[in-house]
Structure 1
Amino acid sequence: MLHAPIIGDGRPQLDMPCLLEMLARSSSRPRYAFMVLNLIAQVSRSDGSAGPLVAKDGGLIPLRDWLCDALTPMGQRDPRRVALEERIRSDLAMSGALPANVDQATAIIDDAIREQVRASGKTNVSRAVSELVRAGLLKRHYQGYCVDHHNRGAQRQAVYILSGCARGLIGGRQEQPRAVPRQTELAF
């Protein structure tokens, strides 16, 4: 096969057809795995690492939650999603938890759906990430409460690091330098 590699400035070469072929061989859902890999590359820093937290709407959320939220629109028309919405609506109505105000009721239903979709989405993301790790495109470790740790749990969050040819997905975007807080001098 003759493929023209996409060459970045000093970064590893990315041969997109080979990357897609690798995903097709190693993943049970290669399109979903590619979307996850692409989203991880979108929020990764210049060293290829993403997580444990991602900035969203002026706040910080865990990387896995951000990935789930970013992939949520893909299932909007899925019949299972529509059935989930109807089931949640009827469960809340039967329990008397829905307020009379339509806007408040819609907000409560949307929050309940988001939580359900996020819970199942984390499983899907974890499965796709495990396949990407096996393919050699990602490395994964957990960071959190006290120190970096290789095991899950105890308030630790996932950190994903692009490896191999997946590092070429970072592209030419420039990371914005962080403002380092400095102690100011008193003017006399």
Structure 2
Amino acid sequence: MNDIGISQPLDLGTILRRLAHVSARPRYAFLVLNLISEAADSAGHAGPMVVDGNRTFLLRDRISDALSPLALGERRESLKQRVAASLAGELPADPDLAEAIVKAAVDERVRASSKTNVSRAVGDLLRAGLVRRHYAGWRTNHQHRGGQRSAVYTVEADAFAALRRRSMLL
């Protein structure tokens, strides 16, 4: 709030400062916030399903997949070697097919790990007051997860506006 009691609109610097106070990984949380806002409708609601091209994904899966390039490098190569070793007796003789099976298993593990990281980042976004969460799915909308319900995120209006103001890089 300023000196006359009117709150100032959020800007990206304020968002980053809030995240720095509540998150051990503020840059990662900021990436997740941006991806949620990218998937959101004009009111800031995203999920539980998002359409990407001609495919439909659960929001958390889509965010995890978008962040998967961050998992490249030595750690991914090490994971690939561990997965190949654990599947050694089950892999076919065809090296191309074996490579595809190992790649699919690595991708699945990276996605599972990324989904956990996304959930932690969303928790940080909730604590920072930038996002609200509820669950929707199988029978009815519901405050609590489980029972085949999936997360729906709503980016708070002032944060959504700040992110949208800077939507184009020059």
TM range (shorter): 0.7 to 0.9
State the 1:106 CA deviation.
2.1
How far apart, in 2, do the equivalents of 1:110 and 1:19 lie? 37
CA root-mean-square deviation: 1.8
The gaps in structure 1 that reach 5 residues or longer are 1-11, 174-188
TM-score, length of structure 1 as denominator length:
0.78
Contact kept in structure 2, 1:136 and 1:164, CA below 8 Å: no
What is the CA-CA distance between 1:14 and the residue it aligns to? 3.9
Match of 2:146 among 153, 159, 176: 153
User: What is the aligned partner in structure 1 of residue 164 from structure 2?
Assistant: 170
Equivalent position of 1:47 in the other structure: 43
Aligned mate of 2:21, from 22, 25, 35: 25
Q: Could you report, residue by residue, the CA deviation over 1:89-118 in whole angstroms, capped at 9, with x for unpaired residues?
A: 11111x22x222233222211111111111
Matched, 1:103 2:99: no
Q: Per-residue CA shift, 1:118-158, capped at 9, x if unaligned?
A: 11111111111011001100000111000101111111111
Contact 1:133 1:139 in 2 (8 A): yes
For 1:44 and 1:132, the matched residues in 2 are separated by: 15
Superposition deviation, residue 84 in structure 1: 0.9
Over the matched positions of the two proteins, sequence identity in percent amounts to: 48
Please give the alpha-carbon distance, in whole angstroms, between the structure 2 residues aligned to 1:130 and 1:171: 24
Going from structure 1 to structure 2, the CA distance change for 1:50 and 1:170 (only over 3 Å counts) comes to farther
* 1:57-68 equivalence runs, <5 A: 57-68=53-64
Deviation at 1:73, TM superposition (A): 0.5
Other-structure match for 2:68: 72
Tell whether the 8 Å contact from 1:55 to 1:61 is kept in structure 2 after alignment: yes
Q: TM-score, normalised by structure 2?
A: 0.86
> Which residue of structure 2 lines up, in the alignment, with residue 4 of structure 1?
none
Contact in 2 for aligned 1:142/1:148 (Cα 8 Å): yes
| Compared CA separation, residues 24 and 172, structure 1 to 2 (3 A) | closer
Distance in 1, Cα, partners of 2:116 & 2:128: 18
Larger CA Rg, structure 1 vs 2: 1
In structure 2, runs of 5+ residues without a counterpart are: 1-7
The structure 1 residue matched to 2:77, chosen from 73, 82, 92, is 82
> What is the distance in 1 between the residues matched to 2:56 and 2:165?
24
